[in-house]
Amino acid sequence: MNDASPDASANARFSTRIFSGIQPSGGLTLGNYLGALKRFVEKQDEGIEAIYCLVDMHAITVWQEPARLRHATREAAAGFIAAGIDPERSILFNQSQVSAHAELAWIFNCVARMGWMNRMTQFKDKAGKDKEAASLGLYAYPALMAADILAYHATHVPVGEDQRQHLELTRDIAIKFNHDYGVDFFPVTEPLIEGAATRVMSLRDGTKKMSKSDPSDMSRINLTDDADAIAQKFRKARTDPDPLPDTLEALEGRPEARNLVNIYAALDGTSPQEVLVAFAGQGFGSFKPKLAELAVESLAPITAEMSRLMQDPAEIDALLGRGAERAEAIAAPILEQCFEIVGMVRSRRR
């Protein structure tokens, strides 16, 4: 995929395989959709083998009300399918159904160093001021993420910008494991952080990431929002009084404007520069309604299909179960080999 990369030769013996995950807590946002889900569909449609996971074990690193977690997991699965993930072509499942993730994570807890974990900015952000009260799981989170990816010998991971540091840690874990045990067992995974929407920002503050954990619902578009809510949120989105310029450089220092241009480009499948060519000189009074219209046009069919799929939760569960079986068939032999390498006696008949 990226032959120019220095790791292309190191990974040559691994066939291209994509893995990515989304936390099923609190519903999917436009940030998840543009930064991840829409790109998952593109990768699938390029014919690349892909495994997509609803990471319910990552979700419980902060408190989740059990019934809500179960609902959100099914809803996220419905979102994937509604957005175009074909569960026959790609593998779609929830993490807790494949025990290899937790087992490999333990091995990686013993490979990763405290110093590495201490540098993780997401832990610092999520733990906030009271680090003593954060769960041990939140601290170990990136090792479980490395296990998600490496349990499948995945070579490429499409994510948004906020996951870059975790993927660097995944690479460090693979390299250290291979080095410590004198093997060439885990691939050194490539992050795929591409496109106009690798960092979708809050609609209330262009310097903050759009996030499901933001207390203000007006800061984000949810995939479950109806057309009126979407239009209202874009109408009220914070902007500045200036018209749109004709160059990207001129958007510097205008984070809210830049964010709306990026969102438009990502929804439309064009580039931010092309958006500026089309809208230069126009104020937000005319740009925002066009953006809202485009967003509704793109998201309404997904929202409708999601709620249709949610009427049959048993079907969603069955589909996740089939996905988990396929995922396990790939991960189990890799995990078995990994235990052998580490020196565990493996005499049980499986």
Residue 134 and residue 118 in contact, taking contact as beta carbons nearer than 8 Å: no
**Structure tokens of 85?**
């993930």
Pairing of strands 91-94, 156-158: unpaired
31 binds ligand TYM (CB under 6 A): yes
Rounded CA-CA distance 112/176 in Å is: 8
Q: Is 129 a catalytic residue?
A: no
Crossing angle (nearest 10°) for helices 227-235 and 284-309: 150
Q: Is 208 a catalytic residue?
A: no
Q: By beta-carbon distance, which residue lies closest to ligand TYM? A: 35
Nearer to ligand TYM by Cβ, of 250 and 328: the residue is 328
Nearer to ligand TYM by Cβ, of 104 and 285: the residue is 104
Nearer to ligand TYM by Cβ, of 146 and 310: the residue is 146
Nearer to ligand TYM by Cβ, of 210 and 309: the residue is 210
Which of the residues 176, 212, 288, 290 is marked catalytic?
212
Nearest-approach distance from CB 29 to ligand TYM, in angstroms: 6
210 binds ligand TYM (CB under 6 A): yes
112-171 residues in contact with ligand TYM (CB under 6 A) are: 145, 148-149, 157, 159-160, 162-163, 166
Range list of H helices, the chain:
7-10, 30-32, 38-45, 56-59, 66-83, 100-109, 114-118, 121-127, 136-150, 164-181, 227-235, 255-268, 272-279, 284-309, 313-342
> Residues 71, 126, 176, 199: which binds ligand TYM (CB under 6 A)?
199
Q: Is 236 a catalytic residue?
A: no
Residue 39 and residue 48 in contact, taking contact as beta carbons nearer than 8 Å: no
Rounded CA-CA distance 138/89 in Å is: 32
Catalytic site residues? 126, 209, 212
Q: Residues interacting with ligand TYM, by CB under 6 A?
A: 19-23, 31-32, 35-36, 55, 58, 145, 148-149, 157, 159-160, 162-163, 166, 197-200, 209-210
